[in-house]
Homo-oligomer: A and B are copies of this chain.
Amino acid sequence: MRYAVLGTGSVGRTLAAKLDSLGHQVTIGTRDPGATLARTEPDSMGNEPFAKWQAEHGTVRLAAFADAAAGSETVVNTTSGMASLRALESAGAANLAGKVVIDVANPLDFSQGFPPSLAPVDTDSLGEQIQRAFPGARVVKTLNTMTAAVMVDPARVPGEHSVFVSGEDAEAKAAVTALLTSFGWPASSVIDLGGIETARGTEMLLPLWLRLMGALGHADFNFHIAGARPAV
């Protein structure tokens, strides 16, 4: 499968490396590939310069958002949530049409400091905004409720724990569930919440996630829904 992973941060790098290791063809999309490659200092989150990372992942390509999306069959949005709609506009509606768009981003607003607030929140979500802005895309919200390392290696958190999927397109959710299985998620860990509106629920987990990280002192945890079982 040909994947475009939009975003060069730790989530994008982690997912790109995993997809690459599974034999997929992966292109990371960024606003300005030249600028991304020219950086020699760690980014604001402490990630090593992208060129250094790419040297260790030689089969992962880097391209502009639109080029990455155009050549892909599936698009993964790992851009900063406040910039996601702009990034997807740059990718281009025509390059998203008909494709599964996996939205991993959270609309965290750090402009007032830490902890960030969410915008939109409660009566809307980034997942819904993306689906509305790109009605031809088959948006599936998933993996946004855990740290990047856990997304691609669920076994690093002991015991059972859950990953949620939200979206309008049953076939797209099935494809994403198969991808999650290939990442190591047991099928019983995948909880289909329903339509993309349910992304409000998972995006609103982030405030608790951030406070748990503070209270526990690490990010190697995840939410598990104890007592979940199929509806009768």
Chain A residues within CB distance 8 Å of chain B: 117-118, 121-123, 157-161, 164, 191-194, 198, 200-202, 204-205, 207-212, 214-218, 220-232
22 A-B pairs in the complex with CB atoms less than 8 angstroms apart: A121-B121, A121-B122, A122-B122, A158-B227, A160-B226, A164-B208, A192-B215, A193-B215, A194-B215, A201-B210, A201-B211, A201-B212, A204-B204, A205-B205, A205-B208, A212-B228, A218-B231, A220-B227, A221-B228, A223-B225, A223-B226, A224-B226
- A123-B117, A204-B204 in contact; A215/B231 too (CB < 8 A)? yes
> Once the chains bind, are A122 and B207 in contact (CB under 8 Å)?
yes
- A204-B204, A232-B217 in contact; A212/B191 too (CB < 8 A)? yes
- CB contacts (< 8 Å) of A123 on chain B: these are 117
8 A-B pairs besides A212-B225, A221-B226 with CB distance below 8 A are A117-B122, A159-B226, A161-B226, A198-B215, A201-B209, A201-B212, A220-B227, A224-B226
**Which applies to chain A's interface (DSSP): helix, strand, loop or mixed?**
mixed
Say how far A106's CB is from chain B's closest CB, in angstroms.
Answer: 12
**How far, in angstroms, from A215 to B164 measured CA to CA in the complex?**
11
Say how far A102's CB is from chain B's closest CB, in angstroms.
Answer: 19
Say how far A36's CB is from chain B's closest CB, in angstroms.
Answer: 32
Say how far A113's CB is from chain B's closest CB, in angstroms.
Answer: 12
Most buried by B among A161, A223, A232: A223
- A223-B223, A224-B223, A227-B157 in contact; A202/B194 too (CB < 8 A)? no
Say how far A193's CB is from chain B's closest CB, in angstroms.
Answer: 5
- A208-B202, A220-B227, A225-B212 in contact; A159/B157 too (CB < 8 A)? no
